[in-house]
């Protein structure tokens, strides 16, 4: 938790790119937990079979709630011949979604960049501890790999009812592929098309 309070866990996500370098990829070697004011990296100790956590640093971006997570492929210099992380070193590269609609990009256990207004904020609320929280934000994300281990598309979904596609190039979030697509507009267009065909 944050400041010795137990943190509420909103979810966990296994790292599909983690490897211990020993060739046994049948067991996931790393995952992150995320939620109320936290994101932690968990690694499996091979000798004991225990999971050990390591807090990740929000750094200059400040501690905040995390609503969604997706791992990014490792950078080309970090990959082995099989496309997995060499050595399963715990240096997760990932993207996190936040209630204020922003995305944070993480490398080596710390947040390194922020994308503001990836999605709408939603309603503002003041928490019992005095911090400001938002009722919207980035609620879901999923990575689809391209033809190589390092490229693909990240799709984010927000409480604002919008989906956005982001390019992933050499394990890095490179920018928007498409303008956000409001789901409500698509449903209305389909309904109108269906009504016209009746």
The reported pLDDT for the residue numbered 141 is 95
Long-range contacts of 122-131 (CB under 8 A, 24+ apart): 122/159, 122/160
pLDDT of residue 17 exceeding 60: yes
Q: State the pTM of this model.
A: 0.76
Q: CA nearest 157: which of 145, 149, 148, 165?
A: 165
The pLDDT tens digits for 116-159 are 988 887 667 787 888 776 667 899 999 998 877 778 899 999 88
The reported pLDDT for the residue numbered 124 is 74
């Amino acid at each position: 938790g944050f400041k010795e309070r137990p943190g509420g866990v909103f979810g966990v996500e296994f790292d599909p790119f983690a490897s211990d370098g020993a060739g046994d990829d049948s067991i996931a070697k790393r995952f992150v937990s995320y939620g109320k004011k936290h994101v932690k990296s968990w690694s499996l100790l091979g000798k004991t079979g225990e999971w050990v956590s390591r807090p990740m640093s929000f750094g200059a971006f400040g501690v905040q709630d995390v609503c969604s997570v997706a791992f990014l492929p490792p950078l080309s210099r970090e990959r082995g011949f099989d496309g997995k992380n060499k050595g399963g070193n715990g240096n997760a590269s990932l993207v996190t979604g936040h209630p204020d609609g922003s995305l944070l990009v993480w490398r080596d256990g710390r947040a390194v960049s922020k994308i503001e207004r990836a999605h709408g904020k939603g309603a503002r609320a003041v928490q019992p501890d005095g911090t400001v929280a938002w009722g919207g934000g980035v609620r879901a994300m999923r990575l689809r790999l391209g033809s190589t281990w390092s490229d693909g598309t990240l799709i984010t979904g927000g409480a604002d009812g919008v989906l956005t596609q982001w390019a992933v190039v050499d394990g890095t979030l490179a920018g928007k592929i498409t303008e956000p697509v409001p789901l409500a507009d698509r449903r209305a267009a389909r309904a109108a098309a269906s009504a016209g065909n009746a």
